[in-house]
Amino acid sequence: MKKPTKPEQTRRLTGISLFASSGVGDLSLRAVGVEVLVANEYLSDRAELFRSNHPECEMIQGDIRELSDTVVATAKRRLGRRRLDVLFATPPCQGMSKNGRGKLLRGVRDGMRESLDPRNQLATFVPPIINQLKPKMVVFENVPEMDGTLVEDSDGSLIELLDLLCNELPDYIATWRVIEFADYGVPQRRQRLITFFLRKDVARARNIRSADDLANAVFPEATHSNRPTLLQEPWICVNDVIGDLPPLDARCKETAESDIEFHHVPLLDEKKYWWVSNTPPGASAFDNQCIERKCRSKRNERHGSSSASGINQANKDTPIYCIDCGALLPRPTVEQNGQLRVMKGFTSAYKRMRGDLPAAALTRNLSYVSSDQKVHPTQHRVLSLLEAMRLHTITDFRWVWKLPNGKPVSDKLIRETIGESIPPRGLKIVLNYALTNTLR
């Protein structure tokens, strides 16, 4: 394959973006020379933040099931005599994720939910748009569990989502792969399924005859690795990215704030602070051992989980008192009927990240100490929003956290924007390689 060229050296490509959220993924499109003309997002706050950061794009806010014709008509109007090069789609993933499917399965067995998550069906509204606009390339981005997600076909029968997309897009060659974005210089271990559809006439012009040929054309070799070779650099780690920021501590307001914008953290109550402050890097507070000076026993059983009927559940009998001295362990507990018991939570909850590794995937709950691996590597607190922005690589790009009226967005919307999006640095590398080898 030829070496990717810089986007500014080539013509601008045209694009539209579906399920755009606040537009973080679209930063990558803009960076590789794609002019996003039209976007669609269901939630109004995300759509407004998108408008602030992509004012050149026409945002159509609302339900894609009702607005497909509007999206198509607007795209045709804005394209004029030009052809559409790229359609980028990031359907909701909550119903596809491991967490989402676990909740779905539990709800079904309890007779409280339908067997299929209706959010997964939203992706099926994309093929009709594709078949009307006929973009040269289509890119889907979602969680790895998209491969295997079941939806309903037009006749009501169950079919895997990727199979449905392939059936509905007969004029395209398809390939997909799970990408670990830490392998592309992102200081965060975040895996996503990237699916490419290339129109067959475009593929033939590039001598791309099969899915394997397409995979070679669109997926670049990893640039970074946990075990680097001569051609790869080491993973970029948490300490590399946030180590220069002043320390914070969640014990009190004075130590939990700084003069740097977005570099502040929520306070922890006394119990949570005790649990977290005794948790070593890479470990969960559920596994904390005895801290009594005369005991220091390391023999207390660790927290774990078990799987029953396909549902993974945390153990409920994890000990909270030291097996040797009887002292209360600094493990998450709650009081029930006047007695303490272990709190419900998985082994990754109340877990301190390691500074010598990329961060775990940042979620919408990144400011909650009980969430998955969100405790700072050495300081007794969660990540600040600024640290999360850096680890997500949003700070590589021009971005404002304000609405079009100039009003700052809430911390909640910042967390949700990061948790729902893909690290733009890594996506930029993948897209630049793919577009260079197929459309440029």
Q: Tell me the residue range of the domain where 70 lies.
A: 7-233+420-438
How confident is the model over 262-288, as pLDDT tens digits? 999 999 999 999 999 999 999 999 999
pLDDT at position 152: 86
Confidence of residue 106 (pLDDT cuts 50, 70, 90): low
How confident is the model over 114-167, as pLDDT tens digits? 556 777 888 999 999 999 999 999 999 998 988 888 888 888 888 899 999 999
Confidence of residue 24 (pLDDT cuts 50, 70, 90): very high
Question: 179: domain CATH number?
Answer: 3.40.50.150
- The answer to whether residue 347 is domain-embedded is no
- The answer to whether residue 197 is domain-embedded is yes
Domain tally, the chain:
1
- The answer to whether residue 369 is domain-embedded is no
- The answer to whether residue 384 is domain-embedded is no
pLDDT at position 116: 65
Q: How far apart are the first and last CA of the chain?
A: 12
User: For the chain, what is the mean pLDDT?
Assistant: 91
The pTM score is 0.90
How confident is the model over 63-105, as pLDDT tens digits? 999 999 999 999 999 999 999 999 999 997 555 555 445 555 5
CA distance 417 to 401: 10
- The answer to whether residue 42 is domain-embedded is yes
CA distance 334 to 269: 13
- The answer to whether residue 208 is domain-embedded is yes
- The answer to whether residue 241 is domain-embedded is no
- The answer to whether residue 102 is domain-embedded is yes
